[in-house]
Chains A and B, each alone.
Chain A
């Protein structure tokens, strides 16, 4: 008798898996054995003081930096493999920067369509139509023809996020995306990122916004001295951290009135 095979529920391959990642700049060892796993639709927030290696970790994930040892697997592929095409890695991995880094010589629409047109080879009309739709969804439809320097920091950063999303990334790397913003502009950017999390975007986020990390993250990692000292669900990391270093760090944040 033949019984129909039961569907086997396999654990989905993690989107990103880092193991023993080390990275030095000259004599300065920034990452000293980082382990990290991100599953699909997960949001992982990396917290830690300035210079703890948060940005470096993110930049290693889309090959803006090359790691010295250890492995990073992206979508199941070892980034250390010499056959890896870094342009393909980046096409599927969006990155948003602290300083927005919009292209100042292009208007908002051209900023968003540059990647789709030049990398995905979309027709101009189609790329612009999609860009317009995305801009409309974040309430910036009327800014399509503006140049970046005419926008507020918050608007620029939201355009930068849309520019990344226009490539249809499977993983989004957000590098302290609110650190360069005036306090009153932080919320609009965090709201957009929260919305992306809600819609199931897989994200690795380096942030100083503890409240945001608590609300939006599935996992919070505390990075200090180039290693992830402690990681876990936000309730535990913020509510009852086990490591002394984490407690000290959070105490400093609380003292500064930022949590």
Chain B
């Protein structure tokens, strides 16, 4: 048998290291710890505070504060001012929320169907799979705002009896569902594919039907694996309800735009941003929380 190890004391050979001393010390500068670390973090914090103070006290900052952070203007935009034609950003935002919730519910169902379709083998479904792929490519490849303009202005111009006479909110909802179903279906698909085949085989070996296997074994694991991505897409959908403003629907962004035009002050956009943040930030925190809870629950072995 050929020797596996090289000659003695060669690199990788038996006894290597006898000759050349080996250094085990890091060549990197050691990380600051203890008092030195505290001092370093204090200095860097002070630097950042000084920088922020410098920006806030510059002459431009006053204009910035008045134009964007004017509390009175924020209030006017938030509450609305009917006599001056200013729509309420607050009321508009309720529409954003409502629209995102309805769309998300529809998207979750449609996307699951689409993902399942793309993963189901069967000759009958072949043309549907091809269609599904074409749709996914299109919906993910074209900007949402383009589809919004296309449908929102295009469809009414077709003068079709039922289709062309809907409210812009309906067109907007349709476009959001159209766009996000493609994204969410891909998330589902990744989730479904992340569940090992052995899980399916174990379930089928118990006599579970393919439908029950999907709903009780595969889907729960799939959703768990992609829950952060799903909630991400939901936050994204929630934000993209702002694009509905292009159709002149009185939602938060369109209302803020009107307020800005009338008052020549853009604090309305700030309040609209804060409203969106008020929803998306807790949503992302909640995502983190769900992930952590799921992990610790499984590790702690508590009942579901």
Instruction: Give the B-binding residues of A (Cβ under 8 A).
Output: 62, 64, 86-88, 90-95, 97, 99, 101-107, 110, 114-115, 118-119, 145-147, 149-150, 160, 163-164, 167
Contact = CB atoms under 8 A, between A and B. Distances in A.
B208 to A, nearest CB: 6
A125 to B, nearest CB: 15
B206 A167 contact: yes
B65 interface: no
Interface stretch (B170-178, B183-191, B231-239, B295-303): B295-303
B206 A145 contact: no
B201 A88 contact: no
Interface stretch (B10-18, B157-165, B212-220, B255-263): B212-220
A190 B198 CA distance: 22
B220 A99 contact: no
Given A110-B304, A145-B301, A147-B301, A103 B202 contact: yes
Interface of B: 198-199, 201-209, 212, 216-217, 220-221, 224, 297-299, 301-304
Nearest to B303: A145
Contact of A87 (B207, B220, B221, B224): B207
A150 B301 contact: yes
Contacts, number: 79
Contacts of B207: 87-88, 90-92, 115, 119, 167
A114 B206 contact: yes
A90 B202 contact: no
Contacts of B208: 87, 114-115, 118-119
A97 B212 contact: no
Contacts of B204: 64, 86-87, 90
A118 B298 contact: no
Contacts of B201: 64, 97, 101
B206 A115 contact: yes
Contacts of A91: 206-207
Given A114-B208, A114-B216, A147-B298, A99 B198 contact: yes
Nearest to A103: B217
Contacts of B303: 107, 145
A74 to B, nearest CB: 13
A149 B294 CA distance: 13
A228 to B, nearest CB: 24
A145 B298 contact: no
A118 B212 contact: yes
A101 B301 contact: no
Given A87-B207, A88-B207, A119-B208, A105 B198 contact: no
A248 B202 CA distance: 35
Nearest to B220: A105
A94 B205 contact: yes
A101 B198 contact: yes
A150 B304 contact: no
A114 B205 CA distance: 12
A104 B206 CA distance: 16
A103 B203 contact: yes
A254 B299 CA distance: 41
Contacts of A95: 202, 205
Given A86-B204, A101-B198, A147-B301, 11 more contacts: A90-B205, A94-B206, A95-B202, A103-B202, A104-B221, A115-B206, A118-B212, A119-B207, A145-B301, A145-B302, A147-B298
Nearest to A102: B202
A50 B198 CA distance: 19
Nearest to B201: A64
Contacts of A101: 198-199, 201-202
A142 to B, nearest CB: 11
25 contacts: A87-B204, A87-B207, A90-B204, A90-B207, A91-B206, A92-B207, A93-B205, A97-B198, A99-B198, A101-B198, A102-B202, A103-B203, A103-B221, A104-B298, A105-B224, A107-B301, A110-B304, A114-B203, A119-B207, A145-B302, A147-B298, A150-B298, A150-B301, A164-B205, A164-B206
Nearest to A116: B206
A150 B299 contact: yes
A106 to B, nearest CB: 8
Nearest to A119: B207
A150 to B, nearest CB: 4
Contacts of B209: 87
* Residue among B202, B208, B216, B217 with the highest chain A CB neighbour number at 10 A: B202
B218 to A, nearest CB: 10
A86 B184 CA distance: 33
A238 to B, nearest CB: 30
